[in-house]
Each structure stands twice: as C-alpha cells, then as structure tokens.
C-alpha cells in the first residue's frame, strides 16, 4: 500500500469511527443511520462529495463496508431496492444535475424511495431502442402515455427510471429521453404478471397522461439511449458478478452434498466438481471486472458476466433437482404472492429451478448479450440492421 493509500485508509477509518460514535447502530434506526452515513460521504466513496461520496476510487468502498459490518451497522436494502442502488444511483451520479443528485440520491440510499425500471415494452423487449411509449412536451412538463412490461417490484416502488420516445421523426436510437418518474401519479396503473413460480414479482405498467416535470429529465433531450446504456451496463455487472465464494445456488447444492451422503455417486461427484469450479471461475472473473471498473463506468464486459451467470444458474438448479430425485420436484406454494425481493436461497430446489429460467431474459436476453459481446468486446462484424437510419415513425410495427 502506497503512502497516499495509507493516508486515505486512516482517514476513512477515522470517518467511520466518527459516524459510529455519533450514531450508535444499536440505538439508531436504520433509515437515520443510513442518512448519516450518506451525509458522511460513506455511502458510495467514489460518488461526488456532498452526494454520498468522497470522490475516492471505488476500491476503497470495501474497507468502509468491512468496518461498518464489524460494528453491526445496518446496510441499504439491496433486496428491496436493487434497481435503485445498482442501476438508478450510478446513472443519476453520472448524468444528473447537482439539483437532481441532491433531490434523489439520499432518499434512494436510505430506502425512502424504492425504484423500479420502466424500460421493456410488449413490442420492445430485446430491442429496447424500439420503445413506443411517448413523452410529449407541455410547458415545463412532459405528458407520458404508453405501456411497460416485466417491471420488477413496481408494486413497491415510489420512483421509476423511464425511457420514452420524445421524437418519432428521427432513427429509433436518437429519439429517446430518460426520466425519473413518480410512481404515485394517478396515471400510473400497476398490474401483476403471474410467473411460472406462481409469484408475481413482475408487473405490467400502464401510463396514461402521466405528468413528468422537465426537472426530472436525466440527461439531454434525445440522449436517452446513452443514459439507458449506462443503466443497463450497471445492471449486468450487478446481476453477473455479485455472489460470494460458494454463494447462491452452488452453495445450496454443496451444502446438500455434504449433509446427505446418501445422494452421492461418482458421476454426480464429477458433475458437482465441474459446476463448483465454474462457479468459482465466474466469481473471480466478476471480482476482476469490478476492480477494472473501479475507476470508470462499466462497459460491455458486464454482458459477458451476465451471460455466464444465467447459464450457470440454470445448470446448477437443474443439477440440484436431479440430485434430490423425486423430492426435487416438490414445490410448496403456488399461491399468487407479491414478494419484495427474489429469494433464491431460502426456498426449495423446485422454486430455484423454475425461477432460474428467467435469468436468461431479465437484464437483457442472452441472445442480445451475445451480440453485444461479439460486436463490442470481440470486435466481430455487426449484424446487418436495415432500420438503423430510418425514422422511427416509418418503421413497420
């Protein structure tokens, strides 16, 4: 560690100690503690000073997390607000005005504002640039009409990140604008979508004459594709590189293997070892990716990580069902539930097997991500796109 890094480390430890001295985690409510942590610049140390950060390299965040965890301090509700913390926050930090950062980042971090993502539509899922939801300028507001689909957690959200079409006369990528939308607006209608698991964590959202202030526009008018790309890259890194060693599904399978020797046989042992090694390689690759991204914005490499995660999760969950034999087919609850977060490890193997089928769709389909990796990572020739330069209004739909 260099002398400068040692100085930074001591300063961070001093800041953490001062926070803990002023706000004892055992007697301070989680929202109050997280608000104080945000004000101290310890929410995201790489964010700008005054907006939850200290302008330091992201690599210093691990020290803050470790020292606060050792003190029993509350953490942000990543399960309930993964979209806010993992996608909206870095996008607001990158493109927001000073006023927008002041208004939106603190309540997002403390959990007062839960976010959802209004991107995909019935006719524009994999081809996000083809969205048809319209936003029309009306004085200092935009009037939004359209339909979104596959919106995780919309039933719990106070805010949404929204991509809408503001100029249909230009090619599809150029006519989009990005907004922060208040989900309490009376024109917002959230309806559950029941999944193969029986749950309805996803929703379809109808927007009817929803007024969004221009002050909630993130980035310039027509810059929505660029802003949304930042959001999606953050999402794919978050999905593909978040598991600890022997965490997630591989951890559940390994624990079953150790606890139930009657399920073992040589062929399954070989298969489990291969899956365990693949999970560890994926974890280490994700850690390296996070380190590479510490000084900048995430790039297309996150698409490769998300691809690997989806395939591995589906393979491991299938192995787990086979390992349990007929017990692996048991599924305890087909009632319509509205969970606040996906629980991959607290449920039975049958749930994990069914839910993992969505991993290759959410956060960008595997088919689209293979195109991203091929074109933007490997430098292969792009697919021929006949609609690239045609005004959106002239496209066949």
- Neighbour-count burial of 213, counting CB atoms closer than 10 A to its CB (0-12 exposed, 13-18 middle, 19+ buried): middle
Q: Same structural domain for residues 287 and 300?
A: yes
Q: Same structural domain for residues 234 and 371?
A: yes
Q: Same structural domain for residues 246 and 371?
A: yes
pTM over the 0.85 mark = yes
What pLDDT sits at residue 124?
84
What pLDDT sits at residue 295?
52
Please check whether residue 391 lies inside any domain of the structure: no
Please check whether residue 337 lies inside any domain of the structure: yes
Q: In this structure, what CATH number is given to the domain that contains residue 246?
A: 1.20.140.10
Please check whether residue 48 lies inside any domain of the structure: yes
What pLDDT sits at residue 342?
73
Q: Same structural domain for residues 214 and 276?
A: no
Pairing of the two strands 115-118 and 159-165: parallel
Please check whether residue 122 lies inside any domain of the structure: yes
Residue 326 bears catalytic tag: no
Q: Same structural domain for residues 321 and 244?
A: yes
Please check whether residue 60 lies inside any domain of the structure: yes
Please check whether residue 294 lies inside any domain of the structure: yes
Domain range for 265 is 228-377
Distance CA 253, CA 264 (A): 12
Q: Same structural domain for residues 182 and 286?
A: no
Q: Same structural domain for residues 81 and 143?
A: no
Would you say 165 and 133 are in contact if contact means Cβ atoms under 8 Å apart? yes
- Domain termination residue (choose one: 56, 75, 110): 110
What digits encode the pLDDT tens for the residues 95-150? 999 999 999 999 999 999 999 999 999 988 778 899 999 999 999 999 999 999 99
Distance CA 351, CA 328 (A): 9
Q: Same structural domain for residues 370 and 245?
A: yes
Please check whether residue 382 lies inside any domain of the structure: no
CB half-sphere exposure, 318, CA atoms < 13 A: 9
Q: Same structural domain for residues 275 and 372?
A: yes
Domain count, the chain: 3
Catalytic-labelled residue, pool 67, 199, 204, 235: 235
Q: Same structural domain for residues 293 and 344?
A: yes
Query: Which residue's entry shows tokens 């302008």?
Result: 55
What pLDDT sits at residue 269?
94
Distance CA 232, CA 303 (A): 9
Q: Same structural domain for residues 38 and 87?
A: yes
Distance CA 256, CA 321 (A): 11
Q: In this structure, what CATH number is given to the domain that contains residue 120?
A: 2.40.110.10
CB-based contacts of 115, cutoff 8 Å, min separation 6: 81, 83, 84, 87, 88, 108, 157, 158, 159, 160, 161
Low-confidence ranges of the chain (pLDDT < 70): 1, 3, 236-244, 290-299
Distance CA 9, CA 162 (A): 38
Q: In this structure, what CATH number is given to the domain that contains residue 97?
A: 1.10.540.10
Give buried/exposed letters for 97-130 (b at 16+ CB in 10 A, else e): eeebbebbbbbbbbbebbbbbbbbbeebbeebbb
Please check whether residue 343 lies inside any domain of the structure: yes
Q: Same structural domain for residues 90 and 145?
A: no
Query: Which residue's entry shows tokens 């300063």?
Result: 11
């Amino acid at each position: 560690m260099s002398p400068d890094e040692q100085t930074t480390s001591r300063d961070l430890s001093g800041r953490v100690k001062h926070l803990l001295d002023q706000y004892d985690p055992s007697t301070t409510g989680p929202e109050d503690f997280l608000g104080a942590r945000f004000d101290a610049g310890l929410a995201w140390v790489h964010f700008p000073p005054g907006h939850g950060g200290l302008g330091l390299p992201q690599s210093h965040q691990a020290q803050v997390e470790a020292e606060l965890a050792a003190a029993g301090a509350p953490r942000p509700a990543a399960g309930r607000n993964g979209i806010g913390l993992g996608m909206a926050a870095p996008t607001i930090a990158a493109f927001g005005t000073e006023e927008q950062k002041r208004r939106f980042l603190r309540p997002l971090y403390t959990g007062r504002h839960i976010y959802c993502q209004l991107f995909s539509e019935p006719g524009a899922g994999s081809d996000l640039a083809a969205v048809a939801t319209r936003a029309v300028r009306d004085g200092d507001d935009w009037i939004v009409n359209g339909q979104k689909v596959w919106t995780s957690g919309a039933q719990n959200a106070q805010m949404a990140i929204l991509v809408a079409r503001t100029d249909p006369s230009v090619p599809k990528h150029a006519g989009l604008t990005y907004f922060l939308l208040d989900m309490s607006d009376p024109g917002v209608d959230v309806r559950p979508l029941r999944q193969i698991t029986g749950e309805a964590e996803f929703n379809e959202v109808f927007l009817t004459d929803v007024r969004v202030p221009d002050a909630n526009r993130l980035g310039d008018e027509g810059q929505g594709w660029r802003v949304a790309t930042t959001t999606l890259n953050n999402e794919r890194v978050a999905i593909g590189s978040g598991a600890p060693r022997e965490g997630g599904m591989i951890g559940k399978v390994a624990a079953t293997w150790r606890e139930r020797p009657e399920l073992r046989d040589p062929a399954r042992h070989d298969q489990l070892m291969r899956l365990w090694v693949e999970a560890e390689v994926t974890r280490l690759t994700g850690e390296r990716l996070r380190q590479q991204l510490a000084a900048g914005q995430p790039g297309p490499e996150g698409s490769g990580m998300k691809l690997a995660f989806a395939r591995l999760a589906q393979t491991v969950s299938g192995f787990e069902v086979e390992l349990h034999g007929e017990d692996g087919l048991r599924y305890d609850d087909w009632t319509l539930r509205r969970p606040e977060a996906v629980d991959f490890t607290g449920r039975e193997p049958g749930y994990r097997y069914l839910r993992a089928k969505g991993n290759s769709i959410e956060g960008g389909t595997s088919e689209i991500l293979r195109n991203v990796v091929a074109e933007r990572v490997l430098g292969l020739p792009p697919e021929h796109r006949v609609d690239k330069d045609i005004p959106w209004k002239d496209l066949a739909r």
